[in-house]
Chain A
Amino acid sequence: MGTGGFRSLEQLEAALVASGAEIATVALRRVDPDARNQSPLSVIERLGLFLLPNTAGCYTARDAVRTARLAKDAFGTEWVKLEVIGDDRTLHPDPVELAAAAEELVAEGFTVLPYASDDPVLARRLEAVGCAAVMPLGSPIGSGRGIDNPYNLALIVEQAGVPVILDAGIGTASDAALAMELGCDGVLLASSVSRAEDPAAMAAAMRKAVDAGHGARRAGRIPRRLHAQTSTPDAGLPRLG
């Protein structure tokens, strides 16, 4: 789960617990002496969650690489969610800068989880340069639209040899369930929970949704048909008129 958007650390903690999430993201920003100890780090550590720093706010490979190195020094982890933004209105990643940053960070020994578009070609490239997973967006960050293009997501899942994590755009529980039904290995969400009316309740719902979608995927769904397929046998049909 992302930690962005929560109105308080108390709400953040309640939501993290309710969600069952094992990984939480943080961003790196300037120290503000006036903000009294409002760091999510203490919450994450107290709950024993895995910390995943994010290069949020970076627009170039150079900045993202530098930010990843800073996060590594600050938190002692080589895991990084790599985010390189290409557009301010949609917060879509810049695929060129993203792939360049990913390649460089992988070479430096980082475990790179790239926030990507839902372009299957980009996903293939990120995997090829050594990313540990690929994290395609469903729709723009914070948009709550869910999965704009389920076909692209299915294509990415089909070809991926690394875990696929839906990252960005989830709005409500059914979106998370659909992501899992499409074959994602997990979801990363923040706004759908942090900005919900009741974040802890939404977090609990998301947990169930992920379980449901994962279970449905493993159970093997029926195909979609144009026509009906009766579930009641014709044999033994009475003539009543």
Chain B
Amino acid sequence: MKVSVNGVEQQLPAGTTVADVVRSLVEMPERGVAVALDGEVVPRSEWQATSLGDGQAVEVLRAVQGG
């Protein structure tokens, strides 16, 4: 299935979860990281349970200097 991850379209196997995507980008433990699925926050407690669907957009975010 095609899923956009941080703006880049990727081919991911069916059943890929939010947790899988986060782990592919960030070292454990993923402190200070937030995830949005189609614009809405996916709470950390639901990362493992949230499977991705074709055409969805995931944003994996972290703190940077600024503000």
Contact = CB atoms under 8 A, between A and B. Distances in A.
A27 B64 CA distance: 5
In this complex, which of B31, B44, B64, B67 has the most chain A Cβ atoms within 10 angstroms of its Cβ?
A: B67
Contacts of B6: 30-31
B12 interface: no
Contact of B33 (A25, A31, A33, A72): A31
B63 A39 contact: yes
Main secondary structure of the interface of B (DSSP, over half): strand
Contact of B61 (A30, A40, A190): A30
Contacts of B65: 3-6, 12, 26-27, 38, 40
A-B pairs with the 4 shortest C-beta distances?
A54-B67, A25-B67, A27-B66, A74-B34
Contacts of B59: 30
A53 interface: yes
29 contacts: A3-B66, A6-B65, A12-B65, A25-B67, A26-B67, A28-B62, A28-B63, A29-B64, A31-B6, A31-B25, A31-B33, A31-B60, A33-B26, A38-B64, A56-B66, A66-B36, A69-B40, A70-B34, A70-B36, A72-B41, A73-B35, A73-B41, A73-B44, A74-B32, A74-B33, A74-B34, A74-B61, A74-B62, A75-B63
A50 to B, nearest CB: 13
Given A30-B60, A38-B64, A69-B41, 4 more contacts: A12-B65, A25-B66, A33-B25, A66-B39
Nearest to B64: A29
Interface string A53-71: 1101000000000100111
B67 A74 contact: no
Interface in B26-53: 26, 31-36, 39-41, 43-44
A21 interface: no
B25 to A, nearest CB: 5
Contacts of A75: 32, 63
B39 A52 contact: no
A41 B31 contact: yes
B28 to A, nearest CB: 13
